[in-house]
Amino acid sequence: MAGRGNFSSRLGFIAAAAGSAVGLGNIWKFPFEVGGGGGAAFVLIYLAFCFVLCYPVMVAEITIGRATHLNAAGAFSKLGFSRFRFIGILGVIAGIMILSFYNVVAGWALGYFIEMVMGNFAIGSQFGTFITNVFKVGAYGIVFMAATAFIVSRGVSQGIEKASKILMPTLIVIILSLTIYGLTLPNGSDGIAFYLVPDFSKITFEVVYNALGQAFFSLSLGMGALITYGSYLSREENIVTSAALITLADVGIAFLAGLMIFPFVFYQGLEPTGGAGLIFVTLPGVFESLGGAWGTIVGSLFFLLLSFAALTSTVSLLEVPVAYLVDEHKMKRGKAVWGMAGLIFLLGIPSLLANGYSEFFSSFITYFGAESSNSFMDLVEHISSDSFLPLGGFLIAVFVAYVWRKENWMAEIENGAPGFSETFLAKYLDFTLRYICPVILGAIFVLTVLSRFFGVNFFG
């Protein structure tokens, strides 16, 4: 469609979609979810969710987007099912909520980059103080949101695509090097054992739903981000192989991040259950141990690239509401971008204060039947990422399988993959979207809401 913009190449689309997927979710969140979820058992469940449940949903999202060349809500109307627009609207809301807290953490990463440049390795043990310095961290947040808005305002191929193509490979190289370094350290192998040898007694229902929320979050699924990106994809591209590459890249990098971090955690005698501070507390000491200039270089580079990984993700989060405003409300792109960015930054302020600065926001809510309170930031995350994303995935699977129907979505995929509908993969996707995704996602969504927010526990 003229005027809306397109990715200029297949690699560009994959780089941008993988750039959206790979972010703080992989390098910051995945390791601490693994740490809190008992290690290898969590990893296994996570991997199963990614390949069995999430991959089909990813194909479904991209296909909806490419078939309509419209934003997450408009796409449903264009297919002739306006009653299902609410799925896209839900996605727009989820995107706004996720970006509001995600930007706060991205600000931490950016701040750590500056600390590393200045050689302040002690910042690891001062993490708690660092995040309560809300004026400083807030300023980093403003810089980050502005950078995001700048890229989104430049549009798809000039902004999003160009940045992703260079940054992703560099990040992989540095993580690989750090992983190899970690393996040479004393006690490093204890970290690997924690990470890779499953202890099934650690699997609780909470571990299962955290793994599901994490899988959706990490793959950028369930809120129409990939409907939106798919809408800039040309008809010749092969959706199923693109989605496979995106999934593999994302899962691969999360897996590597775990392999990198746990040897460091055990080497320093820290607790893998360290929560949201895990990488921020652990890594500066590691960089210091590299010695002087090396430590400064590797440390700065690491947090710089982490910031960039976060940036290609925040870009995709902002793009969802922006595309919605541009397509559906005929707003000018520039106005939509800067207005949304400003609004989301403001909505993120309570999350910024929720990490120790404000008592009120830091222990904001105690769910029914829960023993301890959750911060405002936790609450936003639990609602948006752990609840809305699996719900969105459920709705998208049901929509594609039962409303849009097989012959139509298959036909759209066939545009770039002639003969696809005859393959085994096509039958597998049809089967999972019809039966597996709706049942499992629907059940886990309901059970998650009941157990997390209302203290109803079915599994002891």
Identity of residue 320: V
Nearer residue to ligand TRP within complex by CB, 231 or 296: 231
Measured from the Cβ of residue 377, the count of other Cβ atoms closer than 10 Å reads 23
Residue with Cβ nearer ligand TRP (7 or 217): 217
Taking the complex as a whole, the smallest distance from the CB of residue 102 to ligand TRP amounts, in Å, to 6
Report the amino acid identity of residue 179. T
What tokens were used for 295? 């430590």
Nearer to ligand TRP, 124 or 393 (CB): 393
String of DSSP letters for 42-110: HHHHHHHIIIIIIHHHHHHHHHHHHHHTS-TTHHHHHTT-GGGHHHHHHHHHHHHHHHHHHHHHHHHHH
Between 278 and 426, name the residue whose CB sits nearer to ligand TRP: 278
Q: Which is nearer to ligand TRP, 75 or 98 (CB)?
A: 98
Pair 53, 189: CB distance under 8 Å: no
Q: Closest approach of Cβ 291 to ligand TRP, in Å?
A: 31
User: What is the separation, in whole angstroms, between the first and last Cα of the chain?
Assistant: 53
Residue number with the smallest Cβ distance to ligand TRP: 25
Nearer to ligand TRP, 26 or 210 (CB): 26
| Angstrom distance (rounded) from CA 195 to CA 35 | 8
Q: For ligand TRP, which is the closer residue by CB, 397 or 426?
A: 397
Long-range contacts of 403-411 (CB under 8 A, 24+ apart): 403/81, 403/84, 404/64, 404/79, 404/81, 406/430, 408/67, 408/79, 409/60, 409/63, 409/64, 409/67
Q: Of 71 and 362, which has the nearer Cβ to ligand TRP?
A: 71
Shortest distance in whole angstroms from residue 437 CB to ligand TRP = 17
Q: Which is nearer to ligand TRP, 313 or 374 (CB)?
A: 313
Task: Compute CA distances 319 → 10, 73, 182, 313, whole Å.
Answer: 19, 13, 37, 10
Q: How far is CA 333 from CA 8, 90, 165, 337, in A?
A: 19, 21, 24, 6
* Shortest Cβ 111–ligand TRP spacing (Å): 18
Q: How far is the CB of 323 from ligand TRP (least distance, A)?
A: 13
Q: Which residues contact 286 (CB under 8 A, 6 or more apart)?
A: 178, 181, 182, 264, 267, 268
Site for ligand TRP, rule CB under 6 A = 20-21, 23-26, 98, 217-218, 220, 223, 225, 313, 316-317, 389
Of 435, 457, 438, nearest to 448 (Cα)? 457
- Smallest separation (angstroms) from ligand TRP to the CB of 352: 18
CB of 220 to ligand TRP, least distance (A): 4
Cβ 91 to ligand TRP shortest distance, Å: 8
Which string of b and e fits 211-223 if b means at least 16 CB within 10 Å? bbbbbbbbbbbbb
C-beta of residue 387 within 8 angstroms of C-beta of residue 450: no
The type of residue at 17 is A
Q: How far is the CB of 455 from ligand TRP (least distance, A)?
A: 27
